[in-house]
Amino acid sequence: MRVAAYILNGQPGVGRVSADGRQVEPFQLSAAELALGALPIVEAQAAGRALPAVGKAIAIDQVKLTAPIPRPRRNVFCVGKNYHAHAKEFAGSGFDSSAKSGGDIPSAPIIFSKVPESVTGPTDDILFPAEVSTAIDYEAELTVVIGKGGKGIKAADAMKHVWGYTIINDVTARDWQGKHSQWLLGKSFDTFCPMGPWLVTADEVDGQNTDVKCWVNGELRQDANTKDFIFDIPTLIECISAGITLYPGDLIATGTPAGVGIGYKPPKYLVRGDVVRIEIAGIGSIENAFR
C-alpha cells in the first residue's frame, strides 16, 4: 500500500495511491488528522485498528503532493557514513568530525537528526541560503517508517517494527557541518528535508536490497544498492531503540551512497537553479529545485 498526503483545492488530504500511481482514494479523516498527513494511518495499523473508509478516487495529477508526514512528531533520526564507498569518500573530505575516532568505516552507527521543521514536499523548491552557506550538498536516502513502537528492540525482531519506507534528501550545508562539528545545524535549515512522494508499506519494498539513485540536472551522481549498508536496518533499529523509545511514525534516514558533491575534487556543490532528482526502486521519486 502507498499512502500519500496532498493538497486539493487548498485543502489537505490523505489517500491510498492506486497500483499504477495514477489515482488516490481519500481516507475519511478529521481535519486534525489530515493535518498530520499519513501519520494517522501508520498509527492505526500499528495499533491493529481498521483503516478508515475511503472516498471516490481522484486523479493524482489533480492534487499537489506534500511530504507524507509534513511535520514529524519529533526529529528525523539520520545515519552518517552507512555505505562503504561513501564512508571512504567522506572520510577524505576534511568535513568528517568522526574520522578521528572511527576511521574510514565506523565501528558503530553514527546517529544525528534533522528538526521536523526542515521537512518539505517531494516537488517543493529548496530555499538556497546563499547569504548563510556556500557549500550546499545533496544526499539520497532510503528512510524507514516505524510502525509498532518499542524500546530495547533486538535486531532479530526489528523488521516487525518497520511499517514501511519513503525517500528523503538529506540536504546539507557542508561548511556548517564542518564549522560546528555536531551536524544538527548544517542538516536542519528550512526546507532541507524534502520527503516523499508517499509512504510505501514494507510488504512492497525490500529495504535491504533496493536501488538508490540521484541525478543533479540530469547527471547521474549516486547509484547504489542498500546491500552496501555498513549497518543494516535491524542493527540501526536495535541501536536507536536501546535507550530511546521508538513510536509509530518515527523516521530513520538510513544514510547516503557515494557520489555526493563533497566527494568530488573539486567539490560539486549545488547552486541556484540546480534540480535534484532521487529515485528509489519500489517507492518512486522526488525532484526539487534549489531557488
Whichever domain contains 235, its CATH number is 3.90.850.10
Same domain for 53 and 107, yes or no, is no
Q: Are 68 and 4 in contact (CB under 8 A)?
A: yes
Among 40, 66, 92, where does a domain finish?
66
Same domain for 104 and 245, yes or no, is yes
Same domain for 41 and 133, yes or no, is no
Name the residue range of residue 51's domain. Answer: 2-66
Residue 102 placed within a domain = yes
Neighbours of 248 (CB within 10 A): 21
Q: In total, how many domains does the chain have?
A: 2
Buried b (16+ CB within 10 A) or exposed e, 18-28: eeeeebbebbe
Residue-by-residue pLDDT tens, the chain, 291 positions: 999 999 999 999 999 999 999 999 999 999 999 999 999 999 999 999 999 999 999 999 999 999 999 999 999 999 999 998 877 776 665 655 555 544 588 999 999 999 999 999 999 999 999 899 999 999 999 999 999 999 999 999 999 999 999 999 999 999 999 888 889 999 999 999 999 999 999 999 999 999 999 999 999 999 999 999 999 999 999 999 999 999 999 999 999 999 999 999 999 999 999 999 999 999 999 999 999
Q: Are 199 and 127 in contact (CB under 8 A)?
A: no
pLDDT at 12: 97
Same domain for 51 and 127, yes or no, is no
Same domain for 61 and 117, yes or no, is no
- Residue 239: phi, psi to the nearest 5? -65, -50
Same domain for 111 and 242, yes or no, is yes
Q: Which residues contact 152 (CB under 8 A, 6 or more apart)?
A: 241, 242
- Residue 262: phi, psi to the nearest 5? -65, -20
Q: Are 166 and 182 in contact (CB under 8 A)?
A: no
Same domain for 61 and 83, yes or no, is no
Same domain for 33 and 177, yes or no, is no
pLDDT at 102: 47
User: Which triple of cell numbers denotes residue 139?
Assistant: 544526499
| End-to-end CA gap in the chain | 33
pLDDT at 97: 55
Neighbours of 53 (CB within 10 A): 10
Same domain for 18 and 50, yes or no, is yes
The pTM (predicted TM-score) of the whole model is 0.95
Residue 92 placed within a domain = yes
